[in-house]
Amino acid sequence: MKKLWGGRFQQSTDSLMERFSASISYDRILYAYDIEGSIAHCKMLAKCKIIKPAEAKKIIGGLGRIAKEFDEGRFEVHERLEDIHMNIESRLAELIGPVAGKLHTARSRNDQICLDIRMYLRDEVDEILLEIHRLAKTLLNLAKKNIDHIIPGYTHLQRAQPVLLSHHLLAHLEMFLRDRDRLKDCLKRINVMPLGSAALAGTNFPIDRHYVAKLLKFPAVSHNSMDSVSDRDFLIEFGSAASIIMMHLSRFCEEVILWSSSEFNMIELSDAFSTGSSIMPQKKNPDPAELIRGKTGRVYGNLVALLTLMKSLPLAYNRDLQEDKEPLFDSVNTVKMCLAVFDGMIKSAKFKKVSLEKLQTEGFLTATDIADYLVLKDLPFREAHEITGKTVAYCVQSKKNLAEVSLAEFKKISPRFKEDVMDHISIESSMDRKISHGGTARKNVVAQIERLKKELQKK
Ligand code: ARG
């Protein structure tokens, strides 16, 4: 098998160098895009009368056969042909003879690989968007289903104020919607057609790059050939969007892990999405959540690998750029899989109701409501805070919870307390009062569910 660039070489490549240089083991997954791009390029060459119609027909026929060989798992790749581009071109020559050599007119592998990864990534981003949409719908349904379920809200991982579980779930949904928007925005920069930039300078042939863009459904073509072949910003943007998605999943996973412990006892994962211990028979572990949390590091690492890859590359193409693919593919696969697994895990989990009694008796969740009550009695908030603090201290000392303090005791702490303070201590009334926009009052959350339902129906 002849090397396609062998002309100026007298010695053959060292076998170690061949192995070192080859990317075919991982870039073979780009075959369909490489072939589709080549077919569009070939049609354009014929349209611009750079090759003859009969030649184009032969080339396109051959490329079709190669696509079929790949689809059916019959295509034999060769490491010594380095990458996906040369494996395909070399096979084309075997199939249709020397006319195959005309395909590479007015292009280079430098612009070809950029085209391939842009086509690959826009498809994958669409898939990731579908996964995000699916998870968003799951969270919305869970929020609807659990609308009466109150949980302790935390700050500093200390019990803070009561919130609706639905409110908590929708907080995560907001994050995933931002992830969706970030990916859609990133898609604009992915969806730019680089082919025809050739090696770096453009080409002598009267090609029609806009026609290729139209055939391949790119809304824009790149404007500078040197930038085209060396730009990997879109990968870094994707890597960053992917890292943020993983960070969001990982935070949620951390909560699932905490909540499934007997200390929190707030969630039970389904058998389908948990695993056992090989030594401790009683255990049911939240492994999917832990694995997602763990894989987050990999995706961050991929982003840093891409940034580092680019940081001192002079224009234009450099072979270093071949190293962009493994981190890219790994992030794509990891994010897609993690979104799907998380969806399965959370959809099948059982949220355990925390009893009102437990909420009322542990953690003084409505202390802030008492301070707010005093503000209604015209006390500055800072003073109200102080008096409420004293009330809590009194409770701790006398081993009571807020609901157990009598009116007489309240009045002893401060004469500002009146009979109606009793209405402000209960968990339910605390919930109902959080009516500020974005607050956790039930009617707010119901309105948010409606808004999000419409948002998710949009195309
Ligand atoms: N396999 C190469 C890559 O992934 C394709 C471009 C190679 N270009 C070159 N001049 N060697 O970047």
Read off the pLDDT of residues 338-375 as tens digits, 9 standing for 90 and up.
Answer: 999 999 999 999 999 988 888 888 889 999 999 999 99
CA 269 to centroid of chain Cα atoms: 23
179-208, pLDDT tens digit by residue? 999 999 999 999 999 999 999 999 999 999
Q: Return d(Cα 267, Cα 368) in angstroms, integer.
A: 27
Nearest CA to ligand 1 atom 11: 319
Catalytic (active site) residue 277:
yes
Based on the fold, state whether residues 346 and 361 are members of the same structural domain: no
Q: Beta partners for 221? A: 193
Based on the fold, state whether residues 244 and 382 are members of the same structural domain: no
93: Cβ contacts below 8 Å, ≥ 6 apart: 100, 101
Ligand 1 center–CA 4 separation, angstroms: 13
Domain tally, the chain = 3
- Taking the model in full, what pTM does it have? 0.95
Domain presence at residue 263: yes
Based on the fold, state whether residues 300 and 430 are members of the same structural domain: no
| Last residue within a domain, chosen from 59, 80, 105 | 105
Based on the fold, state whether residues 319 and 185 are members of the same structural domain: yes
Based on the fold, state whether residues 189 and 311 are members of the same structural domain: yes
Three-class DSSP category at 117:
helix
- Spatial contact of 79 and 141, defined as CB atoms under 8 Å apart: no
Based on the fold, state whether residues 96 and 175 are members of the same structural domain: no
Domain presence at residue 217: no
Longest dimension (CA), the chain: 102
pLDDT of residue 19: 96
pLDDT of residue 186: 98
Among 321, 332, 331, 329, which residue's Cα sits nearest to residue 113?
321
Based on the fold, state whether residues 321 and 364 are members of the same structural domain: no
Based on the fold, state whether residues 363 and 349 are members of the same structural domain: no
Q: Return d(Cα 152, Cα 402) in angstroms, integer.
A: 15
Q: Any idea what the CATH number is for the domain that residue 438 is in? A: 1.10.40.30
Q: Is 456 exposed, middle or buried (0-12, 13-18, 19+ CB in 10 A)?
A: middle
| Last residue within a domain, chosen from 337, 354, 371 | 354
Domain presence at residue 213: no
Based on the fold, state whether residues 451 and 329 are members of the same structural domain: no
pLDDT of residue 2: 75
pLDDT of residue 277: 78
pLDDT of residue 281: 80
Domain presence at residue 210: no
Looking at 247-393, which runs of residues are DSSP E strands?
A: 267-268, 350-351
Domain presence at residue 239: yes
Based on the fold, state whether residues 349 and 389 are members of the same structural domain: no
Domain presence at residue 204: no
pLDDT of residue 361: 85
Per-residue tokens: 36: 């589709």
Three-class DSSP category at 253:
helix
Task: Identify how many contiguous H helices and E strands the chain contains and give both numbers.
Answer: 18, 6
Based on the fold, state whether residues 231 and 298 are members of the same structural domain: yes
pLDDT of residue 8: 84
Residues touching ligand 1 (Cβ under 6 Å) are 23, 83, 109-110, 113, 319, 321-322
- Spatial contact of 387 and 379, defined as CB atoms under 8 Å apart: yes
pLDDT of residue 362: 85
Based on the fold, state whether residues 92 and 121 are members of the same structural domain: no
Per-residue tokens: 110: 């430098």
Range of the domain at 166: 114-195+222-354
Nearest CA to ligand 1 atom 3: 322
Please, what is the average pLDDT of the chain? 96
Candidates 12, 277, 355, 406; catalytic one:
277
Q: Return d(Cα 203, Cα 201) in angstroms, integer.
A: 7
The stretches in the chain having pLDDT less than 70 are none
What is the DSSP code string of 380-409?
-HHHHHHHHHHHHHHHHHHT--GGG--HHH
Per-residue tokens: 232: 């990997």
* Pairing mode of beta strands 192-193, 220-221: parallel
